[in-house]
Amino acid sequence: MKNVKLTFVLMAGLPGTGKSTLALALYKELGWTVIDKDAYKAAFLNDESASMDDKSASLMAYEKSFRVAEDELIKQKSVILDSAALRPVTIQNAENTAADVEAEIKEKVQIKVILCYVSRELRKKREQEKKSRIRLSPTSNTTTDPFTMDEYLRDFEHLPSDRLVLDTENSLVECLLQARKYLTG
């Protein structure tokens, strides 16, 4: 499938909502670069010479993620940033990155946001399963734990209104079809 426009995708949602699974499926389908903020955070936390606390590692991981995104976009490669995007600064950083790239390559970069959600119960179950599979799972500094869908959406109201909201309790194939149509349609 040919990518018509240079695209910067922000995966958004709380831990356990299926962002990483969907990002990997999109990589396999579209070939776009996936930037895993949590992998960078884990590397910073495991770097004994840096002796970083969780918050500092998270901030450094976001900074590195946006640098890598900019580098890939300048190379004319669409990217998928796998992060929670819980803070308004994330969308601001994406917009700044896109503007910097546009100035450099003279080509428009579209920003697309995919907000993943599932029921609170399934989210908690997935988080526990992930922790049992991965011994040294990167810790999450996410403090929000909404009970209802309305509460969940309020936590993400800073995201653009044209975002795709996906219930990842649906099959991965169905989510992938919706995401691909949103990104390339």
**DSSP string of 5-27, one letter each residue:** SEEEEEEE--TTSSHHHHHHHHH
pLDDT at residue number 140: 54
- 80-135 pLDDT, tens digit each: 999 999 999 999 999 999 999 999 999 999 999 999 999 888 888 888 887 666 54
Classify residue 84: in a domain, yes or no. Answer: yes
pLDDT at residue number 156: 93
d(CA 51, CA 135): 20
**Burial (Cβ within 10 Å: 0-12, 13-18, ≥19) of residue 123:** buried
Q: Which two tokens stand for residue 92?
A: 């601001």
Split into its structural domains, the chain has a count of 1
Classify residue 1: in a domain, yes or no. Answer: no
pLDDT at residue number 133: 62
Classify residue 120: in a domain, yes or no. Answer: yes
CATH number at residue 60: 3.40.50.300
- 125-178 pLDDT, tens digit each: 888 887 666 544 444 556 677 788 888 888 999 999 999 999 999 999 999 999
CA distances to 1, 23, 116 from 63, rounded to whole Å, are: 31, 20, 23
- Note down the domain range covering 57: 6-184
Could you tell me the pLDDT band of residue 4, with boundaries at 50, 70 and 90?
A: low
pLDDT at residue number 126: 85
pTM (2 decimals)?
Answer: 0.89
- 13-68 pLDDT, tens digit each: 998 999 999 999 999 999 999 999 988 988 888 887 777 888 888 889 999 999 99
